[in-house]
Structure 1
Amino acid sequence: MLKLSLKEGQYVNIGDDIRIVFAGGTGKHCRLLIDAPKELNIARSNNEPDPAKRKDTYYPEPEFSSEAKKQIKQIIWNEKERQKKTQSN
């Protein structure tokens, strides 16, 4: 998770299509402007302190084991080599 401090009017781009602008705030409230494609679903949630009560709690994916990472690297390398051979024929 990325934590940022922004001043009023500053923004964050996410990819090429999404811009989040900090429009100011007071106390514990802030105003954000989100410019994104209409087909993108943007959900607003309450800050519920009890994770059990939250329906959409974020849980990060577990890390891959070092053995799995080695296998993935090998698969990618093999695929690149296969593509090189296909292009040279």
Structure 2
Amino acid sequence: MHGHGKQGGFEMLKLTIKPGEFINIGNDIRVVYSGGTDGNIHLLIDAPRELNIVRSKVLSRKKDSSENNYPHSAPSYYAEPKLSQETVSKIRHLIKEDKNTKKNNTQD
């Protein structure tokens, strides 16, 4: 932990983490820092479907365009369901076949 910061009059916990590290919020939310580029960070968020996770930029746009229906007008984003082991195996097999086909075509 790195200390606390003020944001909008509220005390906030300030953390420093490296790519690949994560923080847990309660028992069912995990935020993973996966790296970043100039001026951007990449976060992976694993949270229950009933939590609406929206970027601040999207919220401010929606709030400006539909003041009466805010925050219900903000879009919801949900994690994709996990693939079955059978599907993962099929995908791996297809990728392997594709690599072999490309390898054979370059040798001709």
More strand by share: 2
TM-score with structure 1 setting the length: 0.50
More helix by share: 2
TM-score with structure 2 setting the length: 0.41
